[in-house]
Structure 1
Protein backbone atom coordinates (compact mmCIF):
# COMPACT_ATOMS: atom_id res chain seq x y z
CA UNK A 1 0.00 0.00 0.00
CA UNK A 2 1.26 3.49 -0.83
CA UNK A 3 0.61 6.36 1.56
CA UNK A 4 0.87 9.67 -0.29
CA UNK A 5 1.16 12.99 1.55
CA UNK A 6 0.28 15.56 -1.13
CA UNK A 7 1.92 18.99 -1.23
CA UNK A 8 4.87 20.49 0.61
CA UNK A 9 5.48 19.54 4.25
CA UNK A 10 7.99 20.52 6.89
CA UNK A 11 9.69 17.59 8.57
CA UNK A 12 7.45 17.97 11.59
CA UNK A 13 4.27 18.15 9.48
CA UNK A 14 5.25 15.04 7.51
CA UNK A 15 5.99 13.09 10.69
CA UNK A 16 2.68 14.16 12.26
CA UNK A 17 0.69 13.30 9.12
CA UNK A 18 2.29 9.88 8.81
CA UNK A 19 1.73 9.19 12.51
CA UNK A 20 -1.97 10.11 12.14
CA UNK A 21 -2.38 7.76 9.16
CA UNK A 22 -0.72 4.87 11.00
CA UNK A 23 -2.84 5.56 14.09
CA UNK A 24 -5.97 5.54 11.89
CA UNK A 25 -5.01 2.10 10.55
CA UNK A 26 -4.62 0.86 14.11
CA UNK A 27 -7.81 2.33 15.54
CA UNK A 28 -10.27 2.00 12.66
CA UNK A 29 -8.97 -1.09 10.86
CA UNK A 30 -7.32 -2.95 13.77
CA UNK A 31 -3.93 -3.17 12.04
CA UNK A 32 -1.52 -4.62 14.61
CA UNK A 33 1.79 -3.54 13.06
CA UNK A 34 3.89 -3.02 9.98
CA UNK A 35 6.58 -5.26 8.54
CA UNK A 36 8.27 -2.73 6.26
CA UNK A 37 7.78 0.93 5.49
CA UNK A 38 9.15 2.39 2.25
CA UNK A 39 9.04 6.16 1.86
CA UNK A 40 9.73 8.03 -1.36
CA UNK A 41 10.49 11.68 -0.71
CA UNK A 42 11.50 14.69 -2.75
CA UNK A 43 13.88 16.80 -0.67
CA UNK A 44 13.55 20.57 -1.00
CA UNK A 45 15.63 23.47 0.30
CA UNK A 46 14.34 26.64 1.96
CA UNK A 47 13.56 28.20 -1.45
CA UNK A 48 11.47 25.17 -2.47
CA UNK A 49 14.03 23.85 -4.98
CA UNK A 50 14.59 20.09 -5.26
CA UNK A 51 17.88 18.94 -3.73
CA UNK A 52 19.83 15.68 -3.43
CA UNK A 53 22.10 14.41 -0.68
CA UNK A 54 25.50 13.77 -2.26
CA UNK A 55 28.34 11.66 -0.86
CA UNK A 56 31.32 13.99 -0.58
CA UNK A 57 33.80 11.19 -1.35
CA UNK A 58 32.16 9.49 -4.35
CA UNK A 59 30.15 12.52 -5.55
CA UNK A 60 27.17 10.17 -6.01
CA UNK A 61 23.67 11.08 -4.87
CA UNK A 62 22.21 8.92 -2.13
CA UNK A 63 19.24 6.96 -3.50
CA UNK A 64 18.52 4.77 -0.47
CA UNK A 65 18.65 5.74 3.20
CA UNK A 66 18.12 2.67 5.38
CA UNK A 67 17.33 2.52 9.08
CA UNK A 68 17.65 -0.82 10.86
CA UNK A 69 16.32 -1.79 14.25
CA UNK A 70 19.53 -2.71 16.04
CA UNK A 71 19.38 -6.09 17.75
CA UNK A 72 15.60 -6.23 17.83
CA UNK A 73 13.99 -8.16 14.97
CA UNK A 74 17.00 -10.29 13.99
CA UNK A 75 17.84 -11.25 17.57
CA UNK A 76 14.23 -11.75 18.58
CA UNK A 77 14.68 -9.68 21.76
CA UNK A 78 11.69 -7.95 23.22
CA UNK A 79 11.98 -4.41 24.47
CA UNK A 80 12.47 -0.93 23.15
CA UNK A 81 13.96 -0.95 19.62
CA UNK A 82 16.98 1.25 18.94
CA UNK A 83 17.19 2.99 15.57
CA UNK A 84 20.64 3.37 14.06
CA UNK A 85 21.72 5.76 11.30
CA UNK A 86 23.47 3.70 8.62
CA UNK A 87 24.70 6.52 6.36
CA UNK A 88 25.84 9.62 8.25
CA UNK A 89 26.34 12.51 5.86
CA UNK A 90 25.79 15.07 8.62
CA UNK A 91 29.32 15.23 10.02
CA UNK A 92 31.19 18.43 9.12
CA UNK A 93 34.54 17.97 7.41
Structure 2
Protein backbone atom coordinates (compact mmCIF):
# COMPACT_ATOMS: atom_id res chain seq x y z
CA UNK A 1 0.00 0.00 0.00
CA UNK A 2 1.26 3.50 -0.82
CA UNK A 3 0.50 6.40 1.50
CA UNK A 4 0.77 9.66 -0.44
CA UNK A 5 0.92 13.07 1.25
CA UNK A 6 0.12 15.54 -1.52
CA UNK A 7 1.84 18.93 -1.66
CA UNK A 8 4.68 20.44 0.34
CA UNK A 9 4.90 19.79 4.10
CA UNK A 10 7.29 20.91 6.79
CA UNK A 11 8.80 18.23 9.06
CA UNK A 12 6.24 18.69 11.84
CA UNK A 13 3.26 18.49 9.45
CA UNK A 14 4.69 15.35 7.87
CA UNK A 15 5.08 13.59 11.22
CA UNK A 16 1.55 14.55 12.29
CA UNK A 17 0.02 13.47 8.97
CA UNK A 18 1.72 10.07 9.05
CA UNK A 19 0.74 9.63 12.68
CA UNK A 20 -2.92 10.36 11.85
CA UNK A 21 -2.94 7.91 8.93
CA UNK A 22 -1.37 5.12 10.99
CA UNK A 23 -3.73 5.84 13.89
CA UNK A 24 -6.68 5.63 11.49
CA UNK A 25 -5.46 2.22 10.30
CA UNK A 26 -5.26 1.02 13.90
CA UNK A 27 -8.56 2.45 15.15
CA UNK A 28 -10.85 1.95 12.17
CA UNK A 29 -9.33 -1.07 10.46
CA UNK A 30 -7.69 -2.81 13.46
CA UNK A 31 -4.23 -2.90 11.85
CA UNK A 32 -1.89 -3.84 14.69
CA UNK A 33 1.51 -3.49 13.06
CA UNK A 34 3.66 -2.98 10.00
CA UNK A 35 6.38 -5.24 8.68
CA UNK A 36 8.09 -2.91 6.25
CA UNK A 37 7.75 0.79 5.46
CA UNK A 38 9.20 2.51 2.39
CA UNK A 39 9.07 6.30 2.15
CA UNK A 40 10.01 8.21 -0.97
CA UNK A 41 10.69 11.84 -0.16
CA UNK A 42 11.98 14.93 -1.90
CA UNK A 43 14.08 16.90 0.58
CA UNK A 44 13.64 20.68 0.63
CA UNK A 45 15.69 23.46 2.19
CA UNK A 46 14.26 26.53 3.96
CA UNK A 47 13.61 28.27 0.62
CA UNK A 48 11.71 25.27 -0.78
CA UNK A 49 14.51 24.21 -3.14
CA UNK A 50 15.28 20.52 -3.57
CA UNK A 51 18.40 19.30 -1.75
CA UNK A 52 20.34 16.04 -1.41
CA UNK A 53 22.28 14.58 1.51
CA UNK A 54 25.91 14.18 0.39
CA UNK A 55 28.43 11.79 1.92
CA UNK A 56 31.41 13.93 2.92
CA UNK A 57 33.90 11.12 2.20
CA UNK A 58 32.67 9.83 -1.19
CA UNK A 59 30.95 13.07 -2.29
CA UNK A 60 28.02 10.89 -3.46
CA UNK A 61 24.37 11.61 -2.70
CA UNK A 62 22.62 9.24 -0.33
CA UNK A 63 19.86 7.38 -2.17
CA UNK A 64 18.79 5.03 0.63
CA UNK A 65 18.56 5.82 4.33
CA UNK A 66 17.86 2.67 6.35
CA UNK A 67 16.88 2.24 9.97
CA UNK A 68 17.12 -1.26 11.48
CA UNK A 69 15.52 -2.58 14.62
CA UNK A 70 18.50 -3.63 16.71
CA UNK A 71 18.32 -7.26 17.80
CA UNK A 72 14.54 -7.46 17.60
CA UNK A 73 13.26 -9.11 14.42
CA UNK A 74 16.32 -11.27 13.74
CA UNK A 75 16.27 -12.84 17.21
CA UNK A 76 12.46 -12.97 17.33
CA UNK A 77 12.37 -11.47 20.82
CA UNK A 78 9.34 -9.67 22.12
CA UNK A 79 9.62 -6.33 23.84
CA UNK A 80 10.29 -2.73 22.98
CA UNK A 81 12.28 -2.43 19.74
CA UNK A 82 15.32 -0.18 19.63
CA UNK A 83 15.97 1.73 16.41
CA UNK A 84 19.51 2.10 15.15
CA UNK A 85 20.63 4.74 12.67
CA UNK A 86 22.68 3.08 9.94
CA UNK A 87 24.05 6.21 8.24
CA UNK A 88 24.76 9.32 10.27
CA UNK A 89 26.05 12.18 8.15
CA UNK A 90 25.36 14.95 10.66
CA UNK A 91 28.19 17.41 11.37
CA UNK A 92 29.90 16.96 14.71
Compute the TM-score of the two structures, normalised by the length of structure 1. 0.94
CA distance in 2, matches of 1:85, 1:77: 20
Greater share of residues in strand: 1
CA distance in 1, matches of 2:8, 2:91: 27
- RMSD between aligned residues: 0.8
For structure 1, the 5+ residue unaligned runs are none
Compute the TM-score of the two structures, normalised by the length of structure 2. 0.95
For structure 2, the 5+ residue unaligned runs are none
Aligned residues: 92
Runs of 4+ off more than 4 Å: none
Q: Residue 46 of structure 2 corresponds to which residue in structure 1?
A: 46
